[in-house]
Amino acid sequence: MSDILHRIGVEHSSPEQVYDALTTLDGLSGWWTEKTSGQTDLGGVIEFRFGPGGFDMKVTELDPGRLVRWDVVDGPPEWVGTSVQWDLRQDGDYTIVLFRHEGWRDPAEFMYHCSTKWGTFLMSLKQLLETGEGAPAPRDVKISDWH
Amino acid sequence: MSDILHRIGVEHSSPEQVYDALTTLDGLSGWWTEKTSGQTDLGGVIEFRFGPGGFDMKVTELDPGRLVRWDVVDGPPEWVGTSVQWDLRQDGDYTIVLFRHEGWRDPAEFMYHCSTKWGTFLMSLKQLLETGEGAPAPRDVKISDWH
């Protein structure tokens, strides 16, 4: 099994502010996709929608200012059964975000794509918190023919 | 062992043009780091330098327009012994670039950082080929306190 890993540092932002951007519909729709709906509390299911489809994430762990974890319960077959974890901590002027999308069964080309795409969405999260303006779908950064 | 995977599509560019950007000092210094020197032919060692240090890559495979492979022979201990592979192919208007940095012994925090950083450098490669202007170090995109 392979994981997608990323690390960013969000300047002049507290772990609580980053946590809010990961656990509220308003925050999530500001950096990942404008079409975000559902329940963001523990045990809830959040529906993220994009042009060609989307993902349903069940919120399985929440530790305010420290940890968010989602299980993918619906979406592309490659994603169902995988998990996304966010670890947050303060480090000087930065909130450090460690991101892990784990449980991929096969490192197929779609996983390569999702890895790069997650990177650009993490930069969108950083940008949202630092400048007030992220780049969520459909205004997301295009990386290839697959969007 | 874990791998860092990425996929981008470079629009209006041939695999041969992308291959050139990966196998010439002029190309490499246009998207990764301006301080690139050494030998880019098979068996040669390319030296990539950044503010805090750098990487020496031995060119171990070259297949024009299709494949480039490097072994890391000097640099941070986490990198030495790992390999970087670039697979290229044409797909309609795009050159598809599949990137794999493999052989990491441990998914430490530095690997999370390098994964995101590779993503931004791949976007720099795409930008160089599509617009004529990349974002190599020291003009690279800052992602965190670690640069």
Model ipTM value: 0.96
CA A23, chain centre distance (Å):
10
pLDDT digits (tens, 9 = 90+) for B28-53: 999 999 999 999 999 999 999 998 79
Q: Do B146 and A9 touch (CB under 8 A)?
A: yes
Q: Which of A87, A93, A115, A127 to mutate to test the interface with B (most CBs of B within 10 A)?
A: A115
pLDDT at B57 over 90: yes
pLDDT at B63: 98
Average pLDDT over residues B99-124: 96
pLDDT digits (tens, 9 = 90+) for B82-110: 999 999 999 999 999 999 999 999 899 99
For residue A35, what are the CA distances in angstroms to A39, A68, A102? 13, 20, 24
Confidence of residue B147 (pLDDT cuts 50, 70, 90): confident
pLDDT at A52: 76
pLDDT at B1: 60
Q: Which residues of chain A have a pLDDT value below 70?
A: 1
Query: In chain B, which residues have their Cβ closer than 8 Å to the Cβ of A120?
Result: 119, 123
Q: Do B4 and A144 touch (CB under 8 A)?
A: no
Question: Cα-atom radius of gyration of chain A, to the nearest Å?
Answer: 14
Kindly state which CATH superfamily the domain A2-131 is placed in. START domain (3.30.530.20)
Query: In chain A, which residues have their Cβ closer than 8 Å to the Cβ of B4?
Result: 5, 115
Among A91, A109, A143, the residue with its CB nearest the CB of B123 is: A143
Which residues does residue B48 pair with via DSSP β-bridges, in sequence order?
A: B36, B55
In this structure, how many other beta carbons lie within 10 angstroms of the beta carbon of residue B76? 14
Q: In terms of CA atoms, which chain B residue is nearest residue A6?
A: B112
The Cα A82–Cα B10 span in angstroms is 29
Number of H helices and E strands in chain A, helices first, is: 3, 7
Report the percent of chain B where pLDDT is more than 70: 99
